[in-house]
A and B are shown apart, each in its own frame.
Chain A
Amino acid sequence: MFWVTGKRIIKTGLLNFWRNGFVSLSSVWVMTTTLLVIAGLLFMIALLGVTLDQIRDRVDINVYFLPEALDEDIEALRRSIESLPEVAHVDFITRDEALENFRERHANDEITLQALDELGDNPLGAVINIRAKETSQYEGIANFLESDQVLGSDGSPIIDDVNYQQNKVAIDRLTNIIDSTEAVGFAISLVFVVMSVLITFNTIRLAIYVSREEISVMRLVGASNYYVRSPFVVTGILYGLISGILTLVLLYPISYWLGPKSENFFTGLNLFTYYTENFGQIFFIILGSGVLLGAVSSYMAVHRYLKV
């Protein structure tokens, strides 16, 4: 009996979808719009995430050593910086490399290069470039570097300059922007999701409102709540499946069209590549949201009319 009932419920659900063609079409249309909003949200989160990551990557502290600092002292300091828990990455640029970089940068500047050659000796010190895991941690690292412990083995200073104080304002502001962008992004996402869910819920409620008389007739001929409700839930799931597939198909040309634009406008994330590379994940999110929305809205909408 269980299988027979299940078969009947699914058959009725499919038939209702087909016979209420116009209502089904409108529901699928609204739900597709909703799922596109959710997909847009996924894209926005991805773009925002990549952009913020890249901005974070660009924040760093440079430690400029005095030219006369000894290699062993610099090496010792480098190791102790690397051992700090807040530090993500340390780049070490030797005096020779620093000179090389300088020459490259000024390759077209004959006068500067001549002046450098006049000096004979390398006037540049070594540089350590530090990246922290979080932008908020730079302050701590800078404090460590500016403390008195950082001295050469003979007690003389080895650091010429730490460029944190110059960058401090910019870093602080960036930290704030990143924090608030994440918070605002999350809030906007939430509002969008709630709105789309409400719109879909109301559409399905209207679709079922049309059937309220039928629901009471079904109750009066002795059908159980379960038997009345389940076909509507099946129809709702079908709305979700069809809308989900429609959305996934529509996203293909949309992301193809937006891909190059997003690559130029933001920070090199091509939406089309993102879509095709993460298709599995997006497939489950979109289809899952559709099915869940359809099933839950139908379940709740029928509930009202079952009280006969």
Chain B
Amino acid sequence: MLYFDRVSKIYSDESRALDGVSFSIEPKEFVSIVGHSGAGKTTLLKMILAEDRPTEGDVFFESTNIHALPRRAMNTYRQRIGTVFQDFRLLPNKTAFENIAFAMEAAGRTDTEIESDVPYVLDLVDLGSKMDNFPHELSGGERQRVAIARAIVNQPDVIIADEPTGNLDPLSTYEIVQILKKINDLGTTILLTTHNKGVIDSLKKRVITMDRGRVIRDDEEGKYVL
């Protein structure tokens, strides 16, 4: 469903963030991308979100070139992708409930749907009791769970998680990974980047290893090898 066709991103001659990257991801896959800092993982994810454009090559989502999408179609496309960031990126002036409701409002959902779906996803990430708390009143793990709830509330086809456990303690890390696995079991494609060897080794899923902008390994049931 996601296909990278010889994608390069060149910031300047000396820095090639991506260098001829090609791979494809099937529906319902759980793919981890590993690599050192600066290997190009985040740039790769930015290409999928169309937060940045490739210098060469194309990225396809179900045979649509996403960088050729007009603005309006771009919004609809982004609503089909749920995103989780290392730094959570919650809206600081909105409560947990409102943060998730915002993603639904953006997708044009009705008030009735919002009233029923938001508590449901918050329960799913075990935060039903913290609905009315603002992000600064939550712990790191709780914030990341709110971010995951926001990412899944519109029932996206893909979830992109960019180092979601980077700022979390081992227990929270474990919880987040369990939630992601559960979401994957329910049929959502997941694309995860991480530095955490333990997470990768326990997942036993496909692993793409990157180095200096290139894909150097792509293993089914891979391990963290670097």
The 0/1 profile, CB within 8 Å of A marked 1, for residues 95-109 of chain B is 000000011011110
Say if the beta carbon of A8 comes within 8 Å of chain B: yes
Tell whether, in the assembled complex, residue A222 and residue B103 are in contact, meaning their CB atoms are under 8 Å apart. yes
Other-chain contact of A20, B76, B89, B93, B111 (Cβ < 8 Å): B93
Say if the beta carbon of B49 comes within 8 Å of chain A: yes
Tell whether, in the assembled complex, residue B78 and residue A221 are in contact, meaning their CB atoms are under 8 Å apart. yes
List B contacts of A222 (CB < 8 A): 75-79, 103, 106-107, 154
List B contacts of A219 (CB < 8 A): 78
Interface size class of A (residues with CB under 8 A): 20 to 34
Tell whether, in the assembled complex, residue A220 and residue B78 are in contact, meaning their CB atoms are under 8 Å apart. yes
What is the total number of residues of chain B having a CB less than 8 Å from a CB of chain A?
25
Given contacts A4-B111, A308-B51, contact A223 B106 (CB under 8 A): yes
Say if the beta carbon of B9 comes within 8 Å of chain A: no
With both chains docked as a complex, state the minimum distance between the C-beta of B151 and any C-beta of chain A, in angstroms.
8
Say if the beta carbon of A256 comes within 8 Å of chain B: no
With both chains docked as a complex, state the minimum distance between the C-beta of A229 and any C-beta of chain B, in angstroms.
13
List A contacts of B150 (CB < 8 A): 221
List A contacts of B83 (CB < 8 A): 220-221
With both chains docked as a complex, state the minimum distance between the C-beta of B163 and any C-beta of chain A, in angstroms.
16
Segment of A70-78, A160-168, A210-218 engaged in the interface with chain B: A210-218
Say if the beta carbon of B12 comes within 8 Å of chain A: no
Q: What are 12 pairs between A and B in contact, CB < 8 Å?
A: A5-B105, A5-B108, A20-B93, A214-B92, A218-B91, A219-B78, A220-B49, A221-B78, A222-B76, A222-B78, A223-B106, A227-B105
Say if the beta carbon of A276 comes within 8 Å of chain B: no
In the docked arrangement, what's the CA distance between A214 and B93, Å? 9
The 6 closest A-B pairs by CB, nearest first: A223-B106, A222-B79, A222-B78, A221-B103, A19-B93, A217-B89
List A contacts of B72 (CB < 8 A): 224
- Closest chain A residue, CB of each to CB of B79: A222
Which A residues between 101 and 150 are near B, CB-CB below 8 angstroms?
Answer: none
In the docked arrangement, what's the CA distance between A5 and B102, Å? 11
The 0/1 profile, CB within 8 Å of B marked 1, for residues 82-109 of chain A is 0000000000000000000000000000
List A contacts of B79 (CB < 8 A): 221-222
